[in-house]
């Protein structure tokens, strides 16, 4: 079963995304920005869905940190945001994809399936 880690400070987004993913057969865990790196290391998700703007660590910076670490560089990371300039930010951080909030179930599942199937880089 594919493990998906959701990192977002908005509890409603985490809850709805978790429900959609679990109903689609994914195993889901969520983390705040403080636990992100420890959970990536110990839980070993297949993909990370991360808010681009987090309260303690910027999601773009967190993505950059994951992508520059040899142990996590191949882990697909999708930035979730409502910012329209997000594609450039995501590209600069090495993100594998962007989901514009609010996103549809189809976009969510399609993005995960593509990235997990090819091991990153959409």
Using CA atoms, how far apart are residues 36 and 7, in angstroms rounded to an integer?
Answer: 7
Its pTM stands at 0.94
- Indicate if the pLDDT at residue 41 is higher than 70: yes
Stretch among 29-33, 36-40, 84-88, 98-102 having the lowest mean pLDDT? 84-88
Tens digit of pLDDT for each residue in 52-110?
Answer: 989 898 899 999 999 999 999 999 999 999 888 878 888 889 999 999 999 999 999 99
- Choosing among 3.30.2270.10, 3.20.20.140, 3.40.50.1370, 3.40.50.2300, the CATH entry for 3-118 is 3.40.50.2300
Quick count: other Cβ atoms within 10 Å of Cβ 43? 13
Using CA atoms, how far apart are residues 13 and 71, in angstroms rounded to an integer?
Answer: 28
E strands, 1-122, are 3-7, 27-31, 47-51, 77-81, 97-100
Using CA atoms, how far apart are residues 88 and 104, in angstroms rounded to an integer?
Answer: 21
Average pLDDT on 2-11 reads: 96
């Amino acid at each position: 079963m594919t493990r998906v880690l959701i990192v977002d400070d908005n509890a409603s987004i985490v809850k709805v995304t978790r429900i959609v993913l679990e109903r689609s057969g994914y195993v889901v865990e969520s983390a705040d920005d403080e636990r992100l790196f420890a959970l990536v290391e110990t839980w070993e998700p297949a993909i990370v869905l991360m808010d681009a703007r987090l309260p303690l660590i910027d999601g773009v910076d967190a993505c950059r940190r994951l992508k520059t670490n040899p142990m996590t560089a191949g882990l697909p990371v999708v930035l979730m945001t409502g910012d329209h300039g997000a594609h450039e930010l995501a590209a600069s951080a090495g993100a594998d994809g962007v989901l514009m909030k609010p996103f549809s179930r189809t976009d969510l599942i399609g993005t995960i399936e593509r990235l997990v199937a090819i091991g990153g880089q959409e």
